Structure 1
Amino acid sequence: DVRAELNALNDEVLKMNDAIESFKSNEAFNSIQKDLIELEDLLDKLRIRQKTIKYELRKIKNLPKPEEIDRSEIELIYNQFK
């Protein structure tokens, strides 16, 4: 009888250890899943920021270029006012 009871208790201990390991795994999974969700949110925010920056850059590139005046034209105008 003692041997059977010992085996039953050992089996119970094994089941409890499995349950504890499963619980630890679930906690780890939940923690990792929470971190993953936070990272995905951060990525979404960064993508939106990237799109905004690209749009602003496109607007800057589309601005008219400043006019270039060569030296001879400047001399001509200067001489006129002189």
Structure 2
Amino acid sequence: MTWHRFDPATFTIGRTDLAVTPELSIGLYNAERSIVDAFRLAHTEGSEQAIDALKRWLRRGGQPSLLLNTAANFPKVLPKLRAALEVLL
């Protein structure tokens, strides 16, 4: 098992809380944040996973502008994501 620690400044970007019971909620990241994280972790998890997630998201009607807005908070990811979008679009 691998533990990934997120920067507290970016922890809430794309994150919502889902109530499981009246006393319990869990945090979920939206699709855009999940794709950004897949690109962020491509050096350990492999780039195929990130590219496949991006392709599926685009096929389902994902809006590149929303993804780029989220990625703007992660400067190291932005160039990789832009390059992938240029190839896929």
TM-score by length of 2: 0.19
Structure ranking higher in helix proportion: 1
TM-score by length of 1: 0.21
Structure showing greater Rg:
1
Query: Using CA pairs below 8 Å that are at least 6 residues apart, which structure has the higher relative contact order?
Result: 2
Structure ranking higher in strand proportion: 2
